[in-house]
Structure 1
């Protein structure tokens, strides 16, 4: 692994116990796929960080992130593959919730991975989480803050059920997303993805797939999808910046009902959208 903090490489990652990221989860982050030494969908990741910095009122110049990114990539092995995480913390400050004036701290992480996927991942068992996602505080809507406790608890629930992933719903029992991904489902001859007006993250890969669907004229809708429609799903997949397509093999609707889905529809879409370049 390799770490960079505010443009300086560090051998051991040590963060102050007074850091607001530790005290309050005061910051944001994005996680990206590194392929052949390049960060995939970099412009979208940069836009995500800029949106979060603005919404959270963090004192961080986006040009510093750009410069640190170039310096960081130059120190990686040629053709490096793996995961890049960029984390922005408001930094250390005196006790209290009041926003300090100092510049934010910018962290880059590199996690090497020699394994390069060339095809979609198959998730054999995808369950339905009973607990509902909290509605977003409007100023934080869609922002990937450092507070991921909700996802940690949901992941624990899925592991207990021996599910590979799970679909999550809001208080109105409408489909939102996976635990660590966005979702697309095929119903009545068309692809659908949930409207994220109340909660959920408008992920990097979701944005890219929607743009490609429009470009390649693939019929699709962004709409409210009720839990009652789950039985009508013919095919579906989950996506995030590290995995453009994770095909849902089976939906576990309860202990007695397992709904098998059409994997071929997802594979056909994978080819139509030319997502192979992103894996």
Structure 2
């Protein structure tokens, strides 16, 4: 495998960053994980917009053009002969010795790595092996004023702590400071009841996922299922008729159980999975 490090393709075992890099030392870095289908990146503009927002929030002026970032992603795909892959693009504030204070703009570190995934679309194979077992954990999402929820940074300790709590599940369900359901450790949540489809409001500390947005658009444009964004308790999810999670790698992943209580998939989950697969097939294959 070859990865991109600061503008150059290098063998994976030579793809390193400095121990003084602020992304390593402080989590002072932005990143996006994008999905490639058929050799092309899915929803690049949406991922790029979120990367811009994160860098603006962190105050990182990386100086690399959007076109150059796109070229680096494509070069990693091409160099490794990957048509279907997960590609992670990271931008750190760079190698800066000294204190926690960021200081003036530094030479940023830009890294692009990739991992082969199964084909997507109508004829594709899901990345996940089984529907998710979701477990409510004690770890909370921090308030937006403490750590901006819409910034996708290397600071993932919150998710690590949540996943460490798991005893009967493979994805953690986190609540916000007020106790309302926010999201999974690395996913967004949807659930269905007799009033329609629900997802936690972005007024809560929720990372606005790109796949979450695509699925929401499909609901509005391709179905007559009412979509609600609100504040919910874990009991609302446990008592749901069906539930599913979304992220770039998983796409649409059904939830089998919530806190050991069977929920399972259903017609809405199946419909949205089909619509998502058809969208990918139409665009990329």
Residue 261 of structure 1, aligned match among 241, 244, 264: 264
The alpha-carbon deviation at position 25 of structure 1 amounts to 0.8
Provide the residue aligned with 2:150 in structure 1: 142
1:227-266 → structure 2 map (5 Å cutoff): 227-252=234-259, 258-266=261-269
Label 1:105 to 1:131 Cα distance change in 2 as closer, same or farther (>3 A).
closer
Q: What TM-score does the superposition give when structure 2 sets the normalisation length?
A: 0.86
The CA RMSD over aligned residues, in Å, is 2.3
Establish whether residue 189 from structure 1 lines up as the match of residue 195 from structure 2. yes
The residue matched to 1:52 in structure 2 has which SS?
helix
Cα shift at 1:247: 0.1
CA distance in 2, matches of 1:151, 1:83: 20
Cα shift at 1:123 = 1.9
> Where does residue 75 of structure 2 map in the other structure?
71
Describe the SS at the equivalent of 1:210: helix
Shift of 1:48: 1.2
Q: Is the 8 A contact 1:2 1:111 kept in 2?
A: no
Deviations 1:218-271 (A, max 9, x none): 420111112342343111100101111110112225xxxx23334343112322
Range moving further from structure 2, 17-26 or 108-117: 108-117
Matched, 1:38 2:40: yes
Q: Does the aligned pair in 2 maintain the 1:142–1:201 contact within 8 Å? A: yes
8 Å CA contact 1:4–1:108 kept in 2: the answer is: yes
Instruction: Indicate yes or no: 2:186 matched with 1:180.
Output: yes
Pair 1:18–1:270, CA change in 2 (3 A): same
| SS across alignment from 1:207 | helix
The aligned counterpart of 1:224 is 231
The Cα shift of 1:277 comes to 4.3
Q: What runs of 5+ residues in structure 1 fail to find an aligned partner?
A: none
Closer, same or farther: CA 54–237 of 1 in aligned 2, 3 Å: same
Mapped partners of 2:44, 2:155: distance in 1: 23
Name the counterpart of 1:270.
273
- 1:56-205 alignment runs, 5 A limit: 56-61=58-63, 62-63=65-66, 64-77=68-81, 80-96=83-99, 97-114=101-118, 117-118=124-125, 121=128, 122-123=130-131, 125-137=133-145, 140-158=148-166, 161-205=167-211
Asked if structure 1 preserves the Cα contact closer than 8 Å seen for 2:237 and 2:243, the reply is no
Compared CA separation, residues 76 and 119, structure 1 to 2 (3 A) = closer
CA contact (8 A) 2:119 2:125 kept: no
The answer to which of 44-53 and 127-136 deviates more is: 127-136
SS in 1 for 2:17: coil
What's the secondary structure of 1:140's corresponding residue?
coil
CA shift digits 1:45-102 (9 cap, x unpaired): 111111111111111234332332343344231x522210000011011301133322
**8 Å contact 1:123–1:165 — kept in the other structure?**
no
Give TM-score, length-normalised by structure 1.
Answer: 0.88
Distance 1:132 1:38, change over 3 A: same
Show structure 2 runs of 5+ residues with no match. Answer: none
Please give the per-residue CA displacement for 1:125-167, whole angstroms capped at 9, x wherever unaligned.
2222133222123673310111001111111212xx1312232
Runs of 4+ in 1 over 6 A off after TM superposition: none
> Any idea what SS the aligned residue of 1:22 has?
helix
